[in-house]
Amino acid sequence: MVLGELEKKVLNYLWQRSPADVKTVFAALTRHEGGNLNTIQTTLDRLYKKQLLDRTKQGHAYFYSPRVEREGLIARLIDSVTRDFTANDENVFINAFQSYSGQFEAQELDALESMIQAQRERLRLNKER
């Protein structure tokens, strides 16, 4: 799955302030950059068709809200991008992540280590069941 820049901006806005209708999203996102109401409408519809947004009709307008959490979408995007490159070598992703993690601060590495330990514990508990 590929997301355009405007799609990312719309999702970020809706994760903070949903539900919102087209006019609200348009006003918020185009305040400084300019833009077109039809472009925002098309973007919202595209995200809805990608099953990233839910919408409910209130009067004559649709109100949109995210169908997925930010972290869940990021995981889906990572999976989508890496699947083709890691099909033959499982360690490629781990090696690439290790290389990328060189940009992390100590606090971020500590948080990552805690998450890994929690995941190991979940796996251990699932095996015991």
Give the whole-angstrom CA distance, residue 18 versus residue 16.
6
Tokens standing for residue 16: 């903070």
**pLDDT tens across 57-87, in order?**
999 999 999 999 999 998 888 887 777 677 6
Q: 5-66: what fold?
A: Arc Repressor Mutant, subunit A (1.10.10)
**pLDDT tens across 46-58, in order?**
999 999 999 999 9
Specify the residue for token string 């997925």.
Answer: 68
Question: In the chain, where are the structural domains located?
Answer: 5-66, 89-129
Specify the residue for token string 């099953």.
Answer: 51
Give the whole-angstrom CA distance, residue 22 versus residue 7.
13
Greatest extent of the chain over all pairs of C-alpha atoms, in Å: 57
pTM, to two decimals:
0.72
